[in-house]
Structure 1
Amino acid sequence: MTGIFQANRALLFFLTLAVLIALSSVVVVDENEQVVIERLGQPVRVINRFNPTGASGAGVVLKLPFIEQAVHLGRGLKGYSAGAQKVRSADGQDLLVDTDVTYRIIDPVRLVARLGSTAKLDAELASALPAMLGARLGPLSAAAIALPGNGGAAQLLRGDLDARARDLGVQVIDLRIGRVMPGETALQMTYEIMQARHLREVDAISAEQIASARQTRAQVAAQAAAILQDSAGKDPEFYDFFRAMRSYTYVFENPDAKNPPTIVIPPNSSYLRHFNGQ
């Protein structure tokens, strides 16, 4: 067995090498991608390049093994989102702006020459956006920035970013400014204003309630005094009894007090005549 292996070792080596060469000579190109073939680091041709007519060159493509390399790029629309970009409006408000960008690679050779692949493309767009947002949105008021279309600034921004992206072989199809929110400082100021307004409203409601309660108590006291005065004229004996009961309440109102009052009076005192049934 060992002898057979030794005899055919060279054949196995050449078969393995032939398989590796065959695999490195074939590139499978999907319909949704375009491929740049590089020879010793220089682009030589593009497979399935984007075409507005929709023509496709996808399939199996041959290349020189080990000498040529295939760089795969997207062929369709791609999206990039930049969230919470800081912008200061013309009226001095700090805003956080979300931006959504839709783009397509239209010159894959240029993109590969500039960036090598798509890995750095989003970073390039992200680095260009803040200055463009400040230039286009800064002259506008916060209210204008928050309007649909952002006072026409979104279209101008798309043109600015597209001009920058064309240098990378990319076309910016659409740019939309999404959520526009106050910055942290503005949010804190808004919260403090709302809190102060809430406290003022609570104080106003409390003062109104206190005044209403005092007025109600005064009305009740006046009605009670009128009733007592009326009853004193109609039934003097009952009024005398009521006065005695109220005096007992004032004296012994708090039986749990540490030093409750003590009254020493004889049993036949007129003060106790109501308890004696007199």
Structure 2
Amino acid sequence: MPRSFISAIVLAVLGLIVLSSSVFTVSETKQAIVLRLGKPQRIVREPGVAFKVPLIENVILLEKRILDLDMPQQEVLSTDQLRLVVDAFARFRIVDPLTTYRSVGSEEGAKRRLSGILASRLRDELGRQPFTALLSPERGEVMEVVQNSVNREAKRFGAEIVDVRIKRADLPTGDPLNSAFERMRTARQQEARAIRAQGAKQAEIIRAEADAEAAKIYADSFGKDPEFFAFYRSMQAYRQALSNRDNTSIILSPDSEFLKELRGR
């Protein structure tokens, strides 16, 4: 076999090796950072085939898609002194891959740093809220505050927080749970007693005002027609005395002053 032919084959193989090492592919879900001797040179965001200098340049791929950030469960002390076990999660994406590489190196590095920041912000913000706020629509506002706070830190790592949610917020099981329920029951009983006392006070005021109004009406009636007023009061007295609700017998003289209205005028 001629040497020229062998040399051509060797050169072709070397050419293929060089070509394959100088070509890389970026998928639609990735973004690439091209490094030359460890220093970032350019960012490739468009999907397709791209080129690099073999042996001198290498490529790091980072996700474009939204990534999940699961948080380990942690205990939080609310303003009403209840210990809560909070299970939360966040979602983020890398918007500046160069900053991400320079600050944390990789996606996993970003997750580790953001996880610590999110845990700290959750403890701080939930510690300012009562337990009931975590069970009401106000929880959405609390999560928005946490998200904005974490986002300010995430920019330093080239990331953006898309969403922060609480999956569950429970009281610890065992004695802490029982004591928390007892404190909540005592607080509700005190609140109920205060409401009943206020209601009784308002009822007394209304009753007194009604009695005063009735007395005024009676007095006005007496001034306009004393005979009718006397007749009306006698009828009321008969109703009270002769209703016989307790089976009591009353013996009166026919000439009794009490019975004058029944005798006629």
TM-score range, shorter chain: 0.5 to 0.7
The answer on whether the counterparts of 1:136 and 1:157 sit within 8 Å (CA) in structure 2 is yes
Give the alignment's TM-score, normalised by structure 1: 0.59
When residues 151 and 101 of structure 1 are mapped into structure 2, their CA distance, relative to the original with a 3 A threshold, is closer
Which amino acid in 2 is paired with 1:41? G
> Do structure 1's residue 119 and structure 2's residue 116 form an aligned pair?
no
Give distance in 2, aligned partners of 1:78 and 1:7.
55
Which amino acid in 2 is paired with 1:23? S
Larger gyration radius, structure 1 or structure 2: 1
The answer on whether the counterparts of 1:144 and 1:151 sit within 8 Å (CA) in structure 2 is no
In the alignment of these two chains, the number of paired residues is 182
Kindly state the Cα deviation for residue 117 of structure 1 after the two structures are TM-superposed.
1.5
When residues 132 and 15 of structure 1 are mapped into structure 2, their CA distance, relative to the original with a 3 A threshold, is same
Counterpart of 1:82? 71
Range 82-91 or range 7-16, more displaced: 7-16
The answer on whether the counterparts of 2:82 and 2:180 sit within 8 Å (CA) in structure 1 is no
Counterpart of 1:241? none
> Do structure 1's residue 98 and structure 2's residue 87 form an aligned pair?
yes
Question: Aligned with 2:157: secondary structure?
Answer: coil
Q: Deviations along 1:85-110, whole A, 9 cap, x unmatched?
A: 22111111111112121211110100
Counterpart of 1:30? 27
Counterpart of 1:42? 39
Give distance in 1, aligned partners of 2:8 and 2:171.
73
Give distance in 1, aligned partners of 2:69 and 2:122.
15
Which amino acid in 2 is paired with 1:32? T
Range 64-73 or range 16-25, more displaced: 16-25
Which amino acid in 2 is paired with 1:47? V
**Between the two proteins, what is the percent identity of the paired residues?**
25
RMSD: 2.7
The answer on whether the counterparts of 2:144 and 2:164 sit within 8 Å (CA) in structure 1 is yes
Kindly state the Cα deviation for residue 178 of structure 1 after the two structures are TM-superposed.
2.0
Give distance in 1, aligned partners of 2:58 and 2:117.
30
The answer on whether the counterparts of 1:90 and 1:141 sit within 8 Å (CA) in structure 2 is yes
Which 5+ residue runs of structure 2 have no aligned equivalent?
A: 183-265
Which amino acid in 2 is paired with 1:62? F
Give distance in 2, aligned partners of 1:142 and 1:119.
33
When residues 191 and 89 of structure 1 are mapped into structure 2, their CA distance, relative to the original with a 3 A threshold, is closer
Which amino acid in 1 is paired with 2:152? A
Give distance in 2, aligned partners of 1:76 and 1:66.
30
Which amino acid in 1 is paired with 2:169? V
Q: Deviations along 1:172-214, whole A, 9 cap, x unmatched?
A: 1111122111124555536997xxxxxxxxxxxxxxxxxxxxx
Question: Aligned with 1:134: secondary structure?
Answer: helix
Question: Aligned with 2:53: secondary structure?
Answer: coil
Q: Deviations along 1:196-244, whole A, 9 cap, x unmatched?
A: xxxxxxxxxxxxxxxxxxxxxxxxxxxxxxxxxxxxxxxxxxxxxxxxx
Give distance in 2, aligned partners of 1:5 and 1:124.
62
The answer on whether the counterparts of 1:94 and 1:186 sit within 8 Å (CA) in structure 2 is no
Counterpart of 1:182? 171
Give distance in 2, aligned partners of 1:169 and 1:192.
44
Which 5+ residue runs of structure 1 have no aligned equivalent?
A: 49-56, 194-278
When residues 134 and 93 of structure 1 are mapped into structure 2, their CA distance, relative to the original with a 3 A threshold, is same
Give the alignment's TM-score, normalised by structure 2: 0.61
Kindly state the Cα deviation for residue 7 of structure 1 after the two structures are TM-superposed.
9.2
Kindly state the Cα deviation for residue 17 of structure 1 after the two structures are TM-superposed.
3.1
The answer on whether the counterparts of 2:71 and 2:119 sit within 8 Å (CA) in structure 1 is no
**For 1:65, which of 54, 59, 64 is the aligned residue?**
54
Which amino acid in 1 is paired with 2:27? D
